[in-house]
Structure 1
Amino acid sequence: MTTTNDVAVGQVRRDDRGRYIHADRIEHDKYGAQVYVTVVAREVGGRITAPGTTTSMRAERFATIPLVDAAPAPTGPDITEVVIDRNRQAIIIDGTEHLYHVGSSGPRIAQGPADGSALVTVQFYVRTVRGA
């Protein structure tokens, strides 16, 4: 295990935003150590998602985030099925149709984890938005 003071490759830490961050590698430069990390899990509204986003941070900052044994397993996709009808500009989410706005690139679909799920980004045009 590669270590830098309190930081080690393979560590998982949970930040105050509910993200479980895995240290992938540590690189040293003239300013100190940089930790390259992957967000392996995130708590969102009682669910566990697996964003898989990558970023980096200074080792000093990473060391201040509480260390945990492991990240929890994802709870699975939030939606069972999405059907995108590009001709009608409609998206059907678990059987309910919603009209969407075609932006510069329309609905964006990114491959999710190895289980075959996907991340779908859609822009909706709504009259009123209320927070919970």
Structure 2
Amino acid sequence: MKLKLITAVAATVVLSAFTIVSTSEKDLVGSWKIDDSNIEGTVNKVIKKAVEANPDAEDQINAQKDAIASMVKAVRLNIKADHTYESVSPQGAKPGKWALTDNGKTLEFTKQDGSIRKDAIIESSATRLKMVNGDLADTLVYVHP
């Protein structure tokens, strides 16, 4: 009897490890910030991307690391129930539209200029959102401020 119970529990644990994340729209609505545990990695990705675009300015970009970190900490992603969003940073607010696609596994952002960014959702709940950012090609964890 114990062997059957242990086997059933083990099978459940193994199978749940491969469960596809499906996100509820109501869990997405609200204000989100990048979790403090992701700030340093995000800053490094932003710097890397900026240096790739402006290799001659590498020293100047690296010298601004603290300022970039402050900006990343201040970023807010405000997802609204009407399928609009605002990405708010010290430089201002950038509005757009969002959609949950691929059976709740992708969060698609359509920016004002018409460009689209698709973020793969790894984990989601009412308090935590973990996604692979399509622009930075990096995993970010968002929490409510």
Which bin holds the TM-score, normalised by the shorter protein?
A: under 0.3
Q: Whose relative contact order is higher, 1 or 2, with alpha carbons under 8 Å and at least 6 apart?
A: 2
Greater strand proportion: 1
Q: TM-score when scaled to structure 2?
A: 0.25
